[in-house]
Amino acid sequence: MGELKSAIRWFRQSCSAQTPGPTLAKDELTSEALLKSWSKIAHAFAEDEEFSLDVDALAEMRERYKKDPTAFGSGSLLPQELSDPAAVELLEAIQRTQEPEEEAVTEEQFELFFQQAEALLKWRDASPGENRWADQYPVFRKLSEKLEEYFFLADTESYAGQPKLPEWAISDSTGQLREALQSMPLARPLSQEGLRFESHLNPAFRDELLNFQSTFLENGKLIFAREDYRELKSRFATYSDWLESAPKTTLGDMESEKLKKWLDDEVLQETCLAALKAKREKGLVLKDFAELESVLLMKTHLLDFCRNFVAFPDLYNPEKKALFERGTLVMDGREFHLSVPVDDLPHHKEAARRSNIFVLYVEVEGKTLAVPVTSGDQGFLATQKRGIFNHVDGTEKEARVVDLVTNPISFWEALVAPFQKISNSLKERLEKMSSDRESEFVKGVTTKKAQAPPAPAASHGPMLAGGGVALAAIGSSFAFILKTLAGLTVGKVLMGFLIMFLAFLLPAALVAFLKLRNRDLSAVLEGNAWGINARMKLTYE
């Protein structure tokens, strides 16, 4: 909300337009900076000062400007425009760093050059070795993998024996041998002492090996020992890490002394920056396009954006889609027109339960959407149900239900919901009792128990007497009920049953009506961390 308020405040300070629209005129601008940018663009593209501008026209002008900035009075500086030789040398150096090289230098390029120079010098100062390492490292790197392979083969020579050339390689005439040599050891025979340069060197690497010998072996030494290899490998591992940490710049191998001289010369920098600033104030730069584009976009879309996320007029209009809506879900032979994105499913479900609305959570191309169901009945809507999602961009996508929040949809579902809960509860109890009895039966069959001696027969006299009294009481009660009903007319009997039925039904109907009446769409939107003050009750339209 703070960003939106800041944007509105900036727009009101920059533009006097009272109604939204896709075009912008000069007399609608109130900012001096924007008026200056407008004049620069009009002058650069030979337009009348009173011309109107839209987003597409501005974008087309910017693309033309990017292709040839100097042709449109760019705020860039040519080296020959300065009289100071040191400044000319600096701008020419910056020129050469541009990709592709450009004739003039902009203020942004000037600042980027010094940022890259500072980073490059800092990296060069962190070099881990002597300067000669820079020449030695490429020689070592060319043979590092083959050296690793050589010492590995030397270690396994005693186990597998000396590798032998295949028969076809002895009389090779097709060039296949040259290709095979690339995968063979650097020298033969293999030696655990190290690489012997007086042995048979692999012809494919002979030049590299001789260069390696002259670089790293001194005083005519002919054996490159394993210890020497380990020392070089350790040294150049550090050097390799340093090389990989090199900053990405366009400065190439520019001398460090020159870079340090330019970085330390603050007067020279201020001279060049002052000249660039003066040229920028008169010439056209990309910033001029960016600020005018911001005003144009806000004039075109800011009111619509606020209406969609503050007042929601399009949300209540079935003929339109609000900006935050994603499309229409087609599932179970029905269309569901409201769908909103979900960032945090558990949090959204917690909020949606307060809405009293049945909510489907569907997955469309890896993204989760919440789809409220406000009419009809549940039907076959359930998890893993599949359907088609018509996106607002006009494409059709596959949709799958991944979760749901169940609430009554119709009056009938709300009416029978309490009885359904009682039915489900009784069903669960009966299933549990059946399962327990089955477990006891299985346990009794599979478990062998010692038979206890039969208990002495008990006297059933008192029990039979008590049962007779109970049956007599039940019989007399039943006879009284029949006698009473016999004295009533059929109409009175039906009226009695109707009163009993209504006594159960009317409270349930009242609860169902209130629950449907209290369905609140704002809770579904608040699941995405929205803050909505008014309740958004559903109507029957």
State residue 328's pLDDT score: 93
DSSP code, position 103: S
Tell which wins on pLDDT, 474 or 56. Answer: 56
d(C-alpha 208, C-alpha 145), whole Å? 13
Half-sphere exposure of 459 (CA within 13 A, CB side): 3
Token couple for 350: 């917690």
Q: Give strand pairing partners of 187.
A: 201
Whether 104 and 76 have beta carbons less than 8 Å apart is answered as: yes
Work out the mean pLDDT of the chain and round it to a whole number: 77
Q: Is the pLDDT of residue 236 over 90?
A: no
Q: Which residues contact 214 (CB under 8 A, 6 or more apart)?
A: none
State residue 505's pLDDT score: 64
pLDDT class for 369, splitting at 50, 70, 90?
A: very high
Tell me the C-alpha to C-alpha distance, in Å, between residue 323 and each of 310, 316, 533. 11, 13, 20
Arithmetic mean of pLDDT, 23-35: 90
pLDDT digits 0-9 by tens, 484-517: 666 666 676 677 667 766 666 666 666 666 676 7
**How far is residue 223 CA from its own chain's centroid?**
56
Instruction: Indicate the burial class of 368 (C-beta count within 10 angstroms; 0-12, 13-18, 19 or more).
Output: middle
Most confident residue range from 67-76, 229-238, 461-470: 229-238
Name which of 354-363, 488-497, 526-535 the model is least confident about: 488-497
State residue 171's pLDDT score: 47
SS3 content of the chain, % helix, strand, coil (to 5): 55, 10, 30
Half-sphere exposure of 379 (CA within 13 A, CB side): 13
Range 6-34 burial, b when 16+ CB lie within 10 A, else e? eeeeebeebbebeeeeeebebebbeeeeb
The alpha carbons of the chain give a radius of gyration, in whole angstroms, of 44
Q: Is the pLDDT of residue 383 over 50?
A: yes
Look up tokens 């012809």; give the residue: 203
Q: Which residues contact 306 (CB under 8 A, 6 or more apart)?
A: 4, 8
Positive or negative, the CA dihedral 262, 264, 267, 269 is: positive
Establish whether the linkage from the previous residue to 247 is cis, with ω within 30° of 0.
Answer: no
Arithmetic mean of pLDDT, 444-451: 59
State residue 450's pLDDT score: 47
For residue 424, the surrounding DSSP H or E stretch is: helix 411-446
State residue 402's pLDDT score: 94
Token couple for 252: 């190439």
Token couple for 102: 């450009």
Tell which wins on pLDDT, 501 or 302. Answer: 302
State residue 395's pLDDT score: 92
pLDDT class for 163, splitting at 50, 70, 90?
A: low
Instruction: Indicate the burial class of 417 (C-beta count within 10 angstroms; 0-12, 13-18, 19 or more).
Output: middle
The dihedrals phi and psi of 539, each to the nearest 5 degrees, come to -110, 175
d(C-alpha 388, C-alpha 518), whole Å? 30
Token couple for 283: 């010439």
Whether 121 and 260 have beta carbons less than 8 Å apart is answered as: yes
Name which of 157-166, 444-453, 459-468 the model is least confident about: 157-166
| Stated pTM of the model | 0.47
Tell me the C-alpha to C-alpha distance, in Å, between residue 138 and each of 125, 195, 252, 404. 20, 19, 18, 63
Q: Is the pLDDT of residue 398 over 90?
A: yes
State residue 158's pLDDT score: 42
Half-sphere exposure of 133 (CA within 13 A, CB side): 16
Instruction: Indicate the burial class of 252 (C-beta count within 10 angstroms; 0-12, 13-18, 19 or more).
Output: exposed
State residue 372's pLDDT score: 92
d(C-alpha 476, C-alpha 206), whole Å? 121
Arithmetic mean of pLDDT, 147-162: 58
For residue 44, the surrounding DSSP H or E stretch is: helix 32-44
State residue 540's pLDDT score: 61
